[in-house]
Amino acid sequence: MLHHRFNDNSDEHQFIKQLDWWTKLRLKVRRRAKTWSSGIAALLILVVVVLTARLALKPQYHTVSGRVECSSGRSVQGIYINDGTRLGSDFASWQPEPGRPSAATYSRNRVISDTYKVGVGCGGTRLDWEVQPKSDFVSGTINNFICYDGPDMANSGKCVHKP
């Protein structure tokens, strides 16, 4: 490998002029290759960062389900699933149990968090719940709750997890 220190551009120019055409071509390619490889490396890093960010931001959904019951005998009017995020919290699909309107099965298939809590409408209408007991956060995908919706009950206003 040829190493030479130049004092100014004219010395370098004279040196390069004396080289054969093949060596000149190799020097040009080598100089450009350094620039190209730096550009390609920067582009690859950018692509990896963008793809990682897109994948990291894409939420992973799962389904939660179970059974709720209004302990006073009031009919279930709605069930809200709160997973602590704006994207995964929403009303659950639910069906009252046949012949027992105070109990219902629920399902919500776009929950993000590993924990969630329920809010149950007991009595009133589907748009205006009379009592709204809520649970604490629970983990798992299948959970049952008894909701104490009477004023004289020990856990009034709470839905308690029933294992």
CA dihedral 131, 145, 80, 115 (to 10 degrees): 140
Tally of domains in the chain: 2
Q: Is the same domain home to 84 and 51?
A: no
Whole-number Å distance between alpha carbons of 156 and 151: 6
CATH classification at residue 126? 2.60.40
Lookup result for tokens 């809590």: 117
Place of tokens 């639910």: 94
- The residue behind tokens 């968090």 is 113
Please state, rounded to an integer, the average pLDDT across all residues of the chain: 85
pLDDT digits (tens, 9 = 90+) for 56-83: 666 788 999 999 999 999 999 999 999 9
Indicate whether 42 and 91 sit together in one domain.
no
Alpha carbon distances (Å) from 131 to 66, 89, 107, 119, 144? 20, 20, 21, 10, 19
Q: Are residues 39 and 73 in the same domain?
A: no
Could you report the per-residue pLDDT of 84-105, keeping only the tens digit for each?
A: 887 888 999 999 999 999 999 9
Residue 90 has a pLDDT of: 93
Neighbouring-strand partners of residue 104: 68, 96
On the CB side of 5, CA atoms within 13 Å amount to 0
Q: Are residues 80 and 27 both part of a single domain?
A: no
Residue 99 lies in a domain: yes
Residue 16 sits in the same domain as residue 71? no
Residue 20, pLDDT above cutoff 90: no
* pLDDT at residue number 45: 86
Contact yes or no for 139/131 (Cβ under 8 A):
no
Burial of 67 (0-12, 13-18, 19+ CB in 10 A): middle
* pTM for the whole structure: 0.64
Asked whether residue 79 falls in the same domain as residue 27, the answer is no
Q: Which of 93, 83, 79, 88 has its CA nearest to residue 159?
A: 79
Distances in whole angstroms, Cα of residue 141 to Cα of each of 33, 40, 64, 131:
55, 46, 4, 25
Comparison of pLDDT for 26 and 135, the residue scoring more: 135
Q: Are residues 51 and 87 in the same domain?
A: no
Are residue 92 and residue 152 in the same domain, yes or no?
Answer: yes
Q: Which domain does 32 fall in, by range?
A: 9-57
Residue whose pair of structure tokens reads 């190209």 in the numeric block: 36
